[in-house]
Amino acid sequence: MDKNMTPINKVSFQDKMRSYAKHPGSLILLILVILAAVITVVTLLFLVGYILISGVPYLKPSLFSIEYNSENVSMLPAIINTVEMVVIALVLSVPFGVGAAIYLVEYAKKGNKLVEVVRLTAETLTGIPSIIYGLFGMLFFNIALHWRYSMMSGAATLAIMVLPTIMRTTEEALLCVPDSFREGSFGLGAGKLRTIFKIVLPAAIPGILSGIILSIGRIVGETAALIYTAGTVTGVAGLMDSGRTLAIHMYVLSNEGLHKNEANATAVVLLLVVLLINGLSSLVAKRFEAVK
Amino acid sequence: MRTREKIMEYVFLLAAVISIVAVALICVFLFANGIPAMHKIGFADFLTGTDWKPGNDKYGIFPMILGSIYVTGGALVIGVPIGVLMSVFMARFCPAKLYKILKPVVNLLAGIPSIVYGFFGLIVLVPFIREHFDSNGQSILCAAILLGIMILPTIIGASEPTIRAVEQSYYEGALALGATHERSVFTVVVPAAKSGILAAIILGVGRALGETMAVMMVVGNQPRVPDSILQGVRTLTTNIVMEMGYATDLHREALIATGVVLFVFILIINLCFSAIKRSGKE
**pLDDT tens digits, one per residue of A50-71:** 999 999 998 888 888 877 877 7
Kindly state whether residues B217 and B78 are assigned to the same domain. yes
Residues B258 and B266: their CA atoms lie apart, in Å, by 12
| Chain B contact present for A128, CB below 8 A | yes
Pair B146, B267 in one domain: yes
Q: What is the largest CA-CA distance in chain A?
A: 74
Q: What is the pLDDT at residue A159?
A: 96
Mean pLDDT to the nearest integer, B30-51: 92
Same domain, B77 and B32: no
How do residues A251-282 score in pLDDT, each as one tens digit?
A: 998 888 788 888 899 999 999 998 889 888 88
The verdict on B42 and B122 lying in the same domain is no
Whether B173 and B78 map to the same domain: the answer is yes
Rounded Cα distance, B150 and B211, in Å: 9
Residue B57 lies in a domain: no
In a domain, B52, yes or no: no
Nearest alpha-carbon partner for B161 in B133, B186, B195: B195
Average pLDDT of span B227-252 = 91
Report how far residue A270's alpha carbon sits from residue A59's, in angstroms, rounded to the nearest whole number. Answer: 12
Q: Is residue B59 part of a domain?
A: no
Share of chain A above pLDDT 70, in %: 95
In a domain, B208, yes or no: yes
How does the average pLDDT of chain B come out, rounded?
A: 92
Q: Of A68-77, A84-93, A205-214, B76-85, which range is least confident?
A: A68-77
Per-residue pLDDT at A9: 59
Residue B212 pLDDT = 93
> Do B37 and B104 fall within a single domain?
no
Q: What is the CATH number of the domain that holds B138?
A: 1.10.3720.10
ipTM of the complex: 0.92
Given a contact cutoff of 8 angstroms between Cβ atoms, the answer to whether A188 and A256 are in contact is no
Domains of chain A, first to last? 2-58 (no CATH), 66-291 (1.10.3720.10)
Count of the separate structural domains present in chain B? 2
Q: Which of residues 171-190 of A touch B (CB under 8 A)?
A: none
Residues B120-150 have pLDDT tens digits of 999 999 999 999 988 888 999 999 999 999 9
B37: which residues sit within 8 A by CB, 6+ positions away? B46, B59, B250, B253, B254, B256, B257
Q: Are strands B52-53 and B58-59 parallel, antiparallel or unpaired?
A: antiparallel
Domain-located, residue B56: no
Residue B135 lies in a domain: yes
Give me the sign of the Cα torsion angle B56, B59, B63, B67: positive
One domain for residues B135 and B91: yes
Together in a domain, B80 and B120: yes
Reduce the DSSP state of residue A58 to 3 states and report it. Answer: helix
Q: Give the separation between CA A289 and CA A278, rounded to whole angstroms.
A: 17
- Interchain pair A191, B213: CB under 8 A: no
pLDDT for residue B64: 95
| Residues spanned by the domain of B189 | 64-281
Residues B276 and B214 in one domain: yes
Contact list in B for residue A26 (CB cut-off 8 A) is 180-183
Distance between CA atoms of residues A178 and A183, nearest Å: 9
Question: Which is more confident, B57 or A90?
Answer: A90
Contact residues for A157 (Cβ-Cβ < 8 A; gap 6+): A133, A134, A136, A137, A141, A225, A226, A229
Residue pair A226/A133 in contact (Cβ under 8 Å)? The answer is: no
Q: Is A95 on the interface with B (CB under 8 A)?
A: yes
What's the rounded mean pLDDT across residues A233-260?
88
Q: Examine the domain organization and report whether B40 and B110 are in the same domain.
A: no
Confidence of residue A4 (pLDDT cuts 50, 70, 90): low
Is the residue at B230 inside a domain?
yes
Looking at the fold, whether B12 and B71 belong to one and the same domain comes out as no
Q: Are residues B116 and B163 in the same domain?
A: yes
Question: Which residue in B204, B210, B229, B207 sits closest to B219, CA to CA?
Answer: B229
Asked, for residue B54, whether it belongs to a domain, the answer is no
